[in-house]
Chain A
Amino acid sequence: MQNPLPSKLQSLLLSSEVCPDGHVEMKVERSHLLEVLKGLRDDPACSCNLLADICGVDYPDREQRFEAVYHLGNLDSGQRYRVRVGLAEDDAVLPSAYSLWPAADWFEREAWDMMGIQFEGHPNMKRILTHEAFQGHPLRKDYDASQRCLMTEDDLMVPDWAKEDQASADDFETQILNIGPSHPATHGTLRTVVRLDGEVIDRAECEIGYLHRCFEKMSETHGWNQVIPYTDRLNYCSSMINGVGFALTVEKMLGIEAPPRAQAIRVILSEFSRLMDHAVCLGANLVDLGALTNFWYFFQPREEIYGLLESCAGGRLTVSYARVGGLSHDVPPDFEERCRRLLKEIPPFLDDVDKLVTTNRIFRDRTEGVGKMTAEEAIAWGWTGPCLRASGVPYDVRKAAPYMGYENYDFDVPIATTGDTYARYLVRMEEMRQSLRIIEQALDQMPEGPIITGDHHVALPPKARVYSEMESLIWHFKLVFDGIHVPKGSAYGFTEGANGELGYYVVSDGGGQPYRVKVRPPCFAIFQAFPHLIEGHMVPDLIAIMGSLNIIAGELDR
């Protein structure tokens, strides 16, 4: 493949190449970083409108110990770019990209919190996932994974602007209100501090990290397949999609592909998971707005899907069904029959909700025109998934960069144009119907055959052969003790999660465990625009907007 970078940019780079995963990779000096990023954004040959991810990697043995990695993309052409910058330990400071893409906001704060890379010119450079009293930067290789730092209630974050206003007595019209983390409408772990001018929110700040369970650190101490149960708990409403996304990324690094039957089963269960995720999102959103009935309507088909997942994988919610190279085992004999029954049973539930909600006066009054996001803003904030499509951008990874054979299925990418809370509801409703279409086609085309790759560097040989053949026994032994040896290098794999682009940036040092796993959670980029979205609205609108964004804390905080 030709290197598509314009020559003006190339002169600023240390090196550039096209990686096997299709990304154009660049190495750049810190002094030229902003210029390169700006060039990538503005040059018509690249016009990267999406800043997908920023992450830090620690290489203690290198002279330049840290490396910051930027993932950029052009949503129209689908071309992806990766920019790497090396940083010395005693001078780990980078210019902030916040002025180019507001999406850099939380990603840079995360890189500071986790890795200790400072960003100059960032408007709010402080910890994000851990708490104020935390010492050290946990994703550095010399940080012990079990080293805890306790916090007390005095360390709870209060934004500086909130402190100031409370102190001044003549500002009696404004009032500081803390919402969450323990609030029924914040789904457990989200916290927002708002300043009210009368009843209108005039400033807001989010605090996250209340569910930061150290997924990335845990990944570095487990084998490649052992990471999959952890990925299940990222977006636990659609756990299958996460596991598949990780498996696909590792398969990309290994240069293998799962057999067609495994891919078809992955597609079917992923689409069922997407449906469940949307059902939870809409159900919870409607409960927050006072419409409890729909929640029950949505939970009934969910129970049926749980039953299906349980029969395949043994777990209802956290399935751990995907493996690197395929699936853990085959589906039960009545799988197809059950799926077809579900395909018949689910649409009436959707129709019921449709009839109750879509033209409901109260619902429309509370959601239309509330929490509006234009397409340009949404892209600049790094939005993907249903929320972006509700703003009118028809970007769906399943269409833009098809994986697992999505190119063989006939389905539509629903979009809405208004970008408000109501539009997000409509897009999710239609996506559930499209998921059913995909499932139906996948069932029709489902091939027979193995469900995991026959490459025994990657997948365990069948038990019967382990007990009867010397060679299989050795493979089994090697895999269990050493793990999969993924070739040295890195890859960024991205799939369409229920909330948008779910990316995994994985670095391998050739050992049996990942060297670094960085998740690009779609919620993270979406939720950072939340303060911007709610300004000018009232508190009840905040609840409606938050529900429509479908923020899943497991994925947001990891």
Chain B
Amino acid sequence: MRQPDGSSIVLTTKLQSMLAWVRKNSLWPLPFGTACCAIEFMSSVSAHYDLARFGAEVVRFSPRQSDMMIVAGTITDKMAPVVRRVYDQMAEPKYVISMGACACTGGFYRAYHVVQGVDEFIPVDVYVPGCPPTPEALIHGILELQKMIQRGETHYDRLSQKGAGNAESASI
């Protein structure tokens, strides 16, 4: 980068801040969509709301290629081991957005087969309320996650500060 007179600009920053800046602007979502929220997730990535504007449109269904899991929809007891397995397969650093009332708390399904919030078995960074949340709400959630990544406040950051940023220590 050069100034008009030809001299170069030097920006100084911490490696950590630069990494965070890079990470937050290229989140690759893994949509763990099970129910109604997945339809709203589809709306979010479609032309009208265009999640690409926020650098998070490269949807990957393979856990090994993605770093932001969006749990969109009700998770049942039958599904829970699958969610956990997929989460474990994601490489660090990884973030989780819990989209919608069901993923956050079980929603209005206080019932015999429904997990009462995915934070029962995976660490969640951002909770997006709504049944289902509008695409605007989801985008807001992603922006919040970006801020958290920049500030170093995600679960991943907390665990890596303790000196153990590997997958096993992410178990809660």
Contact = CB atoms under 8 A, between A and B. Distances in A.
Q: Say if A and B assemble together.
A: yes
Interface of A: 129-131, 134, 138, 143-153, 155-156, 181-184, 187-189, 209-214, 217-218, 229-230, 233, 236-237, 280, 295-296, 299-300, 302-303, 306, 316-318, 553-554
B42 A211 contact: no
A94 to B, nearest CB: 24
20 contacts: A129-B113, A130-B78, A130-B113, A143-B112, A148-B114, A151-B77, A184-B61, A187-B38, A188-B33, A210-B76, A213-B74, A213-B76, A217-B111, A218-B111, A233-B36, A237-B39, A280-B42, A299-B42, A317-B36, A318-B36
Which residue, A146, A188, A209, A295, has most C-beta atoms of chain B within 10 A? A188
Contacts of B113: 129-130, 134, 138, 148, 212-214
Interface stretch (B3-11, B43-51, B141-149, B151-159): B43-51
A306 B43 contact: yes
B29 interface: no
Contacts of B77: 131, 148-151
B73 A212 contact: no
B32 interface: yes
B34 interface: yes
Contacts of A233: 35-36
A138 B113 CA distance: 9
Q: How large is the interface on B (under 10, 10 to 19, 20 to 34, 35 or more residues)?
A: 35 or more
Contacts of A188: 32-35, 38, 73
Interface in B46-77: 46-48, 61, 73-74, 76-77
Contacts of A189: 34-35, 79
B167 interface: no
Contacts of B111: 145-146, 213-214, 217-218
A300 B112 contact: no
Interface stretch (B20-28, B80-88, B90-98): B80-88
A47 to B, nearest CB: 39
Contacts of B134: 316
Nearest to A210: B79
A525 B33 CA distance: 23
Interface string B103-126: 000001111111000000000000
B131 interface: yes
Contacts of A217: 111-112
Closest 4 CB pairs of A and B: A214-B111, A236-B36, A299-B46, A184-B61
A293 to B, nearest CB: 11
B129 interface: no
A441 to B, nearest CB: 29
A360 B34 CA distance: 31
A316 B132 CA distance: 9
Contacts of A151: 77-78, 80-81
Nearest to A236: B36
Nearest to B46: A299
A216 B79 CA distance: 19
Contacts of A156: 81
Contacts of A155: 81
A181 B86 CA distance: 11
A2 to B, nearest CB: 44
Contact of A554 (B36, B82, B85, B108): B36
Given A130-B113, A145-B110, A218-B111, A211 B47 contact: no
Contacts of A230: 108
Given A209-B78, A230-B108, 18 more contacts: A149-B112, A189-B34, A189-B79, A211-B74, A212-B76, A212-B78, A213-B74, A213-B76, A214-B111, A214-B114, A236-B36, A237-B39, A280-B42, A303-B43, A303-B48, A316-B40, A316-B134, A317-B39
Nearest to B102: A213
Nearest to B81: A153
B138 to A, nearest CB: 12
Nearest to B30: A182
A212 B114 CA distance: 8
A211 to B, nearest CB: 5
